[in-house]
Amino acid sequence: MIKIFRLKNIISIKDFNREDIEYILEEASKLEDIAQSRKISEELKGKILGLMFFEPSTRTKMSFETAMKRLGGQEIGFENSGSSSVSKGESIADTAKMFEGYCDALVIRHELEGVSKFISDVVNVPVINAGDGAGQHPTQTLLDLYTIKKEIGKLDDLKIALIGDLKYGRTVHSLSNALTLFNNIKIYLVSPKELKMPQEILHDLNKTNVEYEEVENIEKVIDDVDVLYVTRIQKERFIDVDDYLKIKGAYIINKKMLEGKDLIVMHPLPRIDEIDTNVDNTKYNKYFAQAANAVPVRMAILKTLIKNNPK
């Protein structure tokens, strides 16, 4: 394993190489005992994390808060622009500079692609992209990879179906990019034609050894995959709600479809109806474990970035 983590900011998973990913996953695995036994360490005692959430979040925000608390640190922030002076017209750059004065690292979620990168250019503390519009969600990808490694035991030689909203789904964009760093990967891109994976991501895949196939039908791939990675059709990304209603419910995974299969079901959550709740009490359900894995993985990210970049 590499001794020093190279990156100061986590903006896009495309900035990572395989060693960078393995570094965070190994750190996470060392921190899992603290996360699972619900202890508090003193690794980041006296440090403060800034949370700038312009877009709603349950898991990402709460798991960053939990991770910081478990490391002995504290956090400040807002969960919508209405509760900050952005609502009075203050610029994002000025707001970020205020946070820089108060905090040791910033976590940003915004509905526009590129906002985290923009902020990382105007502050000197580490910046973490917690999801930027339909762009990237790199820390989600790290916990997704951690979950796959934990549940299946490897990150090479895998067949993964990415299902649902591949057009706007930042989690599947980041995960597709990350999978290019591993060997012998096949990705099935399962979506309605209106929500196909963007050309930019396909272009990234074409430059690598990853094999991929675009299909519209889950039944065509379900017997062949190790992981079904299901995503929500995101109503908030559609300009015309009628377009959303036409596609809503296009893919619903249920217990019967999974019986006898050797695979796991993952989902970044939130779920609407794309995984029937009758899957929840089966061995296939790894989506709640995936959400819990956010804590050790985000602990590893915060510990690494804050310790490597003291103010």
Binding site for ligand CP (CB under 6 A): 57-60, 131, 140, 268-270
Q: What values do phi and psi take at 257, rounded to 5? A: -65, -25
The region that residue 270 occupies, defined by phi over 0 for left and psi between -120 and 50 for alpha, beta otherwise, is beta
Q: Which is nearer to ligand CP, 237 or 307 (CB)?
A: 237
Min dist. Cβ of residue 275 to ligand CP (A): 14
Closest by CA position to 171, among listed 36, 51, 291:
291
* Closer to ligand CP by Cβ: residue 144 or 226: 144
Q: Which is nearer to ligand CP, 9 or 231 (CB)?
A: 231
Phi, psi values for residue 215, rounded to 5°: -135, 160
CA angle at 203 for the pair 158 and 119, rounded to the nearest 5°: 95
State in angstroms the smallest separation of the CB of 59 from ligand CP: 4
6 three-state secondary structure: coil
Helices (H) and strands (E) in the chain, counts: 11, 9
Pick 68 or 221: Cβ nearer ligand CP:
68
**Residue 139 CB, nearest approach to ligand CP (Å):** 9
Indicate the residue type of 280.
D
Contact 126, 106 (CB under 8 A): yes
DSSP letter at 54 equals S
Report, in Å, the least distance between residue 28 CB and ligand CP: 16
Residue 269 or residue 292: which is nearer to ligand CP going by CB? 269
Please check whether residue 281 is in contact with residue 258, taking contact to mean a CB–CB distance below 8 angstroms. Answer: no
Between 72 and 133, CB nearer to ligand CP:
133
Nearer to ligand CP, 28 or 222 (CB): 28
| Least distance to ligand CP, CB of residue 64, Å | 9
Q: Identify the three-state secondary structure at position 13.
A: helix
Phi, psi (deg, nearest 5) at residue 230:
-95, 140
Measured from the CB atom, the residue of 95 and 174 that comes closer to ligand CP is: 174
Q: Give the contacts of 66 (CB within 8 A, at least 6 positions apart).
A: 295, 298
78: which 2 tokens? 């807002």
Nearer to ligand CP, 59 or 255 (CB): 59
Q: Which residue has the tokens 């965070």?
A: 24
Closest distance of CB 268 from ligand CP, Å? 4
Q: Would you list the DSSP string of 140-185?
A: HHHHHHHHHHHHHS-SSSEEEEEES-TTT-HHHHHHHHHHTTSSSE
User: Least distance from C-beta 95 to ligand CP, angstroms?
Assistant: 20
Count of positions (residues) in the chain: 311
